[in-house]
Amino acid sequence: MASAMLARGGAASTSYRVARSNGLSRSARPMVAARAAPAAKSYETVADIMTKGQQVFTCRPDDSVDKALELLVAHKITGLPVVDVNNVVVGVVSDFDLLALDTVGKTNDGPLFPPASETWQAFKAVRSALAKGTGKCVRDVMTRNAMSVTPDTNINEATSLLLKKRIRRLPVVDGNGRLVGLISRSNIIKVALELRKSGGGGGPSPTPSTK
């Protein structure tokens, strides 16, 4: 009888040890930790935030001014990279270039049309500028030798260029000058807002000092 009890006790003990080893006993093992939150995104280079693919709209040097303006209006943008048949960037063109708004006395950092507070004469001047573009090609008004960056350019460096040069966008090119993307003020603002909402982690690293 005692032998039978010992046998049953030994079997029970063995079963308990097996249960512990298989994680079947709640008291024998700590509770599994909650699933870790996904790591915050890291933004270091232009490649991490640039607009690319079919979202980048371009024009050719021989396109008409009207065609380029229609692109701006259709896609609600303010400028375009100008590329050749090999997709090499040869310039950039903005709404102000296309409208020749320098003849209206505007700077390159204002709105496309005058605000409502300005006189009707100002709007007539814009219409006149449009008329002056009739028959012209993009090559006649584009900015040549435009500044550009590469995909591995530090975000801080690209941001500094946009702000200091008072421009809205920069073409992103590869080693052969071919267009691979576009970085704009809106890209920078989008990332800044995302980082603020997430607590500020994962931001770009400071540009290394050259001093």
So where are the chain's domains?
Answer: 46-197
Whole-model pTM: value is: 0.65
Q: Which CATH number fits domain 46-197: 2.40.110.20, 3.40.50.720, 1.10.1660.10, 3.10.580.10?
A: 3.10.580.10
pLDDT of 174 > 80? The answer is yes
Q: Taking all residues of the chain, what is their mean pLDDT, rounded to a whole number?
A: 76
Write out the two tokens for 77: 């943008």
Q: What is the DSSP letter of 25?
A: -
φ/ψ (deg, to 5) at 81: -70, 145
Residue ranges of alpha helices (H) inside 22-154 are 65-75, 95-99, 120-132, 138-141
Q: Could you tell me which residues come within 8 angstroms of residue 140 by beta carbon, excluding any fewer than 6 positions away?
A: 65
- The pLDDT value recorded for residue 107 is 42
pLDDT the model gives residue 196: 87
Q: Which residue has the higher pLDDT, 97 or 139?
A: 139
Tokens at 76, concatenated: 């609600």
Per the structure block, which two tokens stand in for 84? 């050749």
Distances (CA, A) of 50 to 72, 154, 195: 19, 12, 16
**CA-CA-CA-CA torsion sign (30, 35, 40, 42):** positive
Q: Is the pLDDT of residue 192 over 70?
A: yes
Residue 200 DSSP SS3: coil
pLDDT-derived band at 45 (thresholds 50, 70, 90) equals very high
In the block, tokens 């909650």 appear at 34
Give percent of the chain with pLDDT exceeding 70. 59
Query: What pLDDT was estimated at residue 108?
Result: 45
Tell me the average pLDDT across 14-41: 51
**Mean per-residue pLDDT, 108-136:** 58
d(CA 88, CA 37): 42
| pLDDT exceeds 70 at position 30 | no
Q: How far apart are CA 207 and CA 211, in angstroms?
A: 12
pLDDT of amino acid 115: 56
**Contact status, residue 98 vs residue 141, Cβ threshold 8 Å:** yes
Q: Burial, 38: exposed, middle or buried (Cβ in 10 Å; 0-12, 13-18, 19+)? A: exposed
The per-residue pLDDT for 93 is 95
Q: What is the mean pLDDT of residues 152-173?
A: 95
Least confident of 27-41, 122-136, 145-159, 172-186: 27-41
